[in-house]
């Protein structure tokens, strides 16, 4: 292996990381795993910030590399040796290299925007920093691995880690600065009070006084009950629920009112899931289910107004992914995830179940002929040895038999219609 004695490849490695969707995905997963509050947000929001910040780190490394290369020349203009210790000492203090601005003078607009966005979404600053620190730690690990693979020497690798720590510390400060600036600019009037009350009740599970609920406009119905709902509109400004108190919580629009929204209050392309009426003490658990239902429905491209109970089976089954995977292997183990025809058979079977096992409705949903549906179901039976139309084994239940097939097919195809990898 060729040992590289200077840090020149590091900037290129960071630029490659910023362009690598798999790497950015790892950093996003690290942040979301470490911070549950971030995991409730859309993944695309975190990914865009991560990509911008890694790209900015690459730019800073490029400037430092150029300055270090110039410093390695003696006054006569000939290259001189650069030892690992010399490099570490030079980078240990901010702004050592002539002509290079300090790390604080670099472009941290992505970090400022990240902090401001999370403040606007109501994510606690501690949760934001947990996610940032987890992503930074993973970024250092990946950078070190790639530097070693590129033959970077141990002395230079130490310099890289110190540089990344310096950059990471500055990045965290700018995230906090953006967060605090957004907090200071946020209106401290009725809107902010309602948002705090909804977060306290729906996220924290702390029931406010009846007077506080009334002042915020959340008045229970005649039975003392309230409906909570969660919306994911195509265009947030188009949602208007005059009867309810609403606020942005963790990337969703949360609402609370004496009655559920009507279909006419939901704009085209919007998605709203409303929970049954409940006393204030029971709203937090229902709200969490509504958030999960909206996320689940959004991934599957649904829109419109739904009751929470419409997702009862899907939410319950989503709680047991291991059982779903085992059931999928038992019923569909003979299918090949890489075979396009097998995927077509699985989609046809799932549509058949969704259409109440009606050939004509399945054919209409798939824009094909009923005989084609019949043929595909027959081929699925030949390959798997099981049938969606047959009666269940002795002692079994017909609805449970159909549910098992639906669960297995849904798990095998995945939320985006693509089958999972084989174990």
Q: Which residues contact 130 (CB under 8 A, 6 or more apart)?
A: 34, 35
pLDDT tens, residue by residue, 167-219 = 888 888 888 888 888 766 554 555 677 788 888 888 888 888 888 888 788 88
Quote the pLDDT of residue 5: 43
The H or E element containing residue 202 is none
Q: What confidence tens digit (pLDDT) does each residue in 338-367 have?
A: 889 999 999 999 999 888 889 999 999 999
Report d(CA 88, CA 5) in Å as an integer.
13
Q: What is the DSSP letter of 308?
A: G
Rounded to an integer, what distance in angstroms lies between the CA atom of residue 154 and that of residue 148?
8
Contacting residues for 183 by C-beta, under 8 A, at least 6 apart = 119
Q: What is the CA radius of gyration of the chain?
A: 28
Which CA distances in Å does 99 have to 72, 111, 165, 315?
14, 24, 21, 58
φ/ψ of 233, rounded to 5, equals -75, 155
The string of pLDDT tens digits covering residues 261-296 is: 888 877 777 889 999 999 999 999 999 999 999 888
Q: Which residue has the higher pLDDT, 219 or 61?
A: 219
What is d(CA 175, CA 118) in angstroms, rounded to the nearest whole number? 9
Interval 58-83 mean pLDDT? 52
SS3 368: coil
Encode burial over 250-286: b for 16+ CB neighbours within 10 A, e otherwise.
bbbbbbbbbebbeeebbbeebbbbbbebbebebbbeb
Q: Is the pLDDT of residue 124 over 70?
A: yes
DSSP assigned state of 189: S
- Nearest Cα neighbor of 116 from 176, 30, 163 is 176
Ranges 79-88, 245-254, 280-289, 295-304: which has the least confidence: 79-88
Q: Which of 33-37, 79-83, 133-137, 240-244 comes out lowest in average pLDDT? A: 79-83
| SS3 label, residue 305 | strand
For tokens 């183990």, what's the residue? 333
Using an 8 Å Cβ cutoff, are 121 and 199 in contact? no
Tell me if 120 sits within 8 A of 178, measured CB to CB.
no
d(CA 182, CA 178): 6
Residue 362 CB: number of other CB atoms within 10 A?
25
CA distance 259 to 221: 7
Model pLDDT, residue 189: 53
Residues 320-414: name the CATH superfamily: PucR C-terminal helix-turn-helix domain (1.10.10.2840)
**Every domain of the chain and the residues it spans:** 7-71+106-185, 189-309, 320-414
- Which of 180, 177, 175 is CA-nearest to residue 134? 175
Helix 109-120, helix 125-149: angle, nearest 10:
150
What are 105's strand-pairing partners?
none
Contacts of residue 164, defined as CB under 8 A and 6 or more positions apart, other chains included, come to 57, 136, 139, 140, 143
H or E segment to which residue 78 belongs: none
**Exposure string over 64-88, b if 16+ CB within 10 A, otherwise e:** bbebbeebbeeeeeeeeebeeebbb
Cβ atoms < 10 Å from Cβ of 12: 15
């Amino acid at each position: 292996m060729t040992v590289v004695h200077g840090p020149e490849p590091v900037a290129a490695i960071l630029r490659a990381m910023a362009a690598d969707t798999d790497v950015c995905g790892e950093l996003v997963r690290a942040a979301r795993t470490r911070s549950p509050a971030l995991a409730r947000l859309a993944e695309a929001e975190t990914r865009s910030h991560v990509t911008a910040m890694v790209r900015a780190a690459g730019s800073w490394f490029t400037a430092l590399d150029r300055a270090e290369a110039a410093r390695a020349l003696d006054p006569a203009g000939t290259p001189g040796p650069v030892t690992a210790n010399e490099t570490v000492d030079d980078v240990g203090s901010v702004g050592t290299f002539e002509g290079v601005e300090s790390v604080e003078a670099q472009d941290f607009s992505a970090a400022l925007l990240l902090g401001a966005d999370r403040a606007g979404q109501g994510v606690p600053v501690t949760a934001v920093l947990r996610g940032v620190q987890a992503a930074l730690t993973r970024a250092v690990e990946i950078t070190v691995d790639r530097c070693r693979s590129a033959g970077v020497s141990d002395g230079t690798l130490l310099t890289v880690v110190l540089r990344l720590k310096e950059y990471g510390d500055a990045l965290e400060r700018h995230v906090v600065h953006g967060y605090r600036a957004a907090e200071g600019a946020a209106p401290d009037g009725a809107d902010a009070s309602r948002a705090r009350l909804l977060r306290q009740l729906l996220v924290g599970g702390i029931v406010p006084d009846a007077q506080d609920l009334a002042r915020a406009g959340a008045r229970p119905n005649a039975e003392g009950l309230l409906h909570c709902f969660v919306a994911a509109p195509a265009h947030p400004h188009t949602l208007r629920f005059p009867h309810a108190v609403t606020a942005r919580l963790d990337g969703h629009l949360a609402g609370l009112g004496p009655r559920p929204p009507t279909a006419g209050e939901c704009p085209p392309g919007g998605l709203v899931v409303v929970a049954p009426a409940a006393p204030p003490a029971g709203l937090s658990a229902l709200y969490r289910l509504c958030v999960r239902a909206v996320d689940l429905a959004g991934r599957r491209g649904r829109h419109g107004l739904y009751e929470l109970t419409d997702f009862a089976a899907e939410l319950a089954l989503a709680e047991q992914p291991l059982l779903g995977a085992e059931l999928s292997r038992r019923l569909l183990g003979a299918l090949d995830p890489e075979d396009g025809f097998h995927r077509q058979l699985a989609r046809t079977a799932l549509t058949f179940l969704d259409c109440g096992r009606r050939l004509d409705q399945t054919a209409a949903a798939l824009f094909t002929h009923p005989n084609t549906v019949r043929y595909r179901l027959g081929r699925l039976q030949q390959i798997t040895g099981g049938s969606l139309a047959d009666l269940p084994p002795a002692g079994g239940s017909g609805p449970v038999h159909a549910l098992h097939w639906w669960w297995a097919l849904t798990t095998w195809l995945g939320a985006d219609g693509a089958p999972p990898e084989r174990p």
